[in-house]
Structure 1
Amino acid sequence: MPNLRDIKRKIEAVKKIGQITKAMNMVAAAKLRGAQERVEQFRPYATKFQEVITDLASSGAVNPAQFELMQVREVKKVEIILVTADRGLCGAFNANLINACEKLIREQKAKGREISLICVGKKGSQYFSKTGLVRQAYEDIMGRVEMFNARAVARDAMQAFIDKAVDETYIIYGYFVNVVRQIPKTERLLPIAVEKEEAVETEAPKISGSYIYEPEPEELFAQILPLYINTRVMAAMLETAVSEQAARMTAMDNANRACGDMVQSLTLLFNKTRQAAITKELMDIVGGAEALKG
């Protein structure tokens, strides 16, 4: 049985760890509010961008096949943009993203395709650094997501696709559902695919209209396609950033509760050990007194 001094030291150590986890929980909660606001403000912009691309492509005013970023070709080389956090202590968040990436790699290799990676975030870069798959790594940029960083990642991916160094590009990121649920999401980034919305019958007639574009649709389409990829990458980075803070807040809350449980358990052990020591001393005193009487 451990002595009282060791148990007391453990209790103090666990209490200090609990203070740290509580502080980290509060910091993550504060960062989460700011990151969540940025995501909520950016989502309508990204959705509207998708609507404009879809409208232009499906209007018949432009031919998507003439644009390099939309050309579909035989897939021999695949590139994956993996967006993870720069820091840990956020539960299984980074591990889930890495597992999703490994699953996609296995699927593509089973089809006989070559794989390369663009890792955004230190955790993904560190994990795959020894595999030889990482073509480019962007570290220490997820603490504060900025558009110029997203533009650099998107430009790198687009240039590789245009140069035909890769035939398909996917992006994997953490999608923020709510504070307790963040899911890994895998989407094809290049070539750009335009999905037409299916008509849904409703009781109220849907208001529709046509856009008037200036300059001409062909010129406009060529200009906004790279901007669309920039927007997709930026959205993925923002989603991952807010998901990271939500996961860290939950993980630190669980850790803080675990510290409380450990303190209770160690305190109970401390009391039992102290009681056993007192009982032993009393038995020694009584035994000594009986010996003197004899």
Structure 2
Amino acid sequence: MFRLGVNQIARTSGARNYATLREIEGRLKSIKNIEKITKTMKIVASTRLTRAQRAMTSSRVFNQSDKEFMENADPAKPEGAKSLLVVVSSDKGLCGSIHTQVAKAARRKVEELNGNVDIVALGDKVKAQLIRTHSEKLKLAFSGVGKEAPNFNEVALIVDEIQKLGKYENIEILYNRFVSAVSFDPAAFSVYAADAIEKAPGLSKYELEGDSVAETLSELSFANSLLSAMAEAYASETSARRNAMDNASKSAGDMINSYSILYNRTRQAVITNELVDIITGASSLE
């Protein structure tokens, strides 16, 4: 948008000799203010990224334990049953294409499941994108999430609300997996229902007591997977926002250089014209 402004001024200067210094100075001041904002947002994101990575590392420990248990128990995923797709995002923008990518992955997942799925959206960004194409499948949405690193109490409350929708034999949690400080990939966790865990052939390897063990394990697995997904998504979003603000700051710096050159050239031209007018006027008086 600002690069277009530079070109526009250059074209206008050809029509009316020179753009006014005040106009160029005003644009230059505006871009410098934007650069200050983007640099500040980059610093804030960099500070939050360290905390986000610590929370993500902690959540991976719980998720790894849950993953090892499910691999040993080896429950079977039911076929043909209605699925629940939980899409993890946030309410904030200015972080590149991170929300768009997870929304596209959610649409592909709906197609893979032949539309036999209900959707739960965590965050206003992904909700706004999915509601345009799958409004009839969006059963529940949460706002105010993703502002800080998630904690288990917050996740437990979200899981309780989701379970009020009813029982689903297949639950998948879609999120942005943190790969590195400059990359992320959409990924998914599968959560097994209590019936699938109870019928798992490897469950006999564990000494479990009680009638509702499978139900408890299913709920705990759901909460652990959602906690890990939200922590991964928060770290990915924070990293993406830092990179976006870094790129914006560099672009603003380039534009400041371009406008500074244009300002100096225009100022020199104005001074030259004034000198020419003075010399011409003095010559006419002789």
- Give yes or no for TM over 0.5: yes
Question: Which residue in 1 is equivalent to 2:6?
Answer: none
Match of 1:132 among 131, 136, 151: 136
Q: TM-score, normalised by structure 2?
A: 0.80
- Deviation readout 1:212-268 (Å, 9 max, x if unpaired): 844449864443222111111111011001111111111111111111111111100
Instruction: Verify: 1:10 aligned to 2:3, yes or no.
Output: no
Return the structure number with greater helix share: 2
Offset of residue 167 of structure 1: 5.1
Residues 212 and 79 (structure 1 numbering): CA distance in 2 closer, same or farther, change over 3 Å?
Answer: closer
SS at match of 1:266: helix
Report the equivalent of 2:80: 74
Residue ranges of structure 1 left out of the alignment (5+ in a row): 59-63, 65-69, 195-210
Q: 2:120 touches 2:139 (CA, 8 Å); kept in 1? A: yes
Count of matched residue positions in the alignment of Structure 1 and Structure 2: 259
Q: What is the 5 A alignment of 1:16-55?
A: 16-55=33-72
Please point out which of 117, 120, 125 is paired with 1:118: 120
Q: 2:283 aligns to what?
A: 290
In structure 2, the residue matched to 1:176 is 178
Match of 1:260 in 2: 253
Q: Which amino acid aligns with 1:290?
A: S
Aligned amino acid, residue 219 of structure 2? P
Note closer, same or farther for the CA distance 1:187–1:224 as it changes in structure 2 (3 Å cut): closer
Alpha-carbon deviation of 1:99?
1.8
Equivalents in 1 of 2:170, 2:215: separation in Å? 19
Kindly report the root-mean-square deviation, in angstroms, between the aligned alpha carbons of the 2 structures.
2.6
Give me the TM-score of the superposition, normalised by structure 1: 0.78
Kept after mapping to 2: 8 A contact 1:74/1:167: no
- Alignment gaps of 5+ in structure 2: 1-12, 14-18, 198-203
Structure 1 stretches of at least 4 aligned residues deviating more than 6 Å after TM superposition: none
| C-alpha contact 1:21 1:252 (8 A) present in aligned 2 | yes
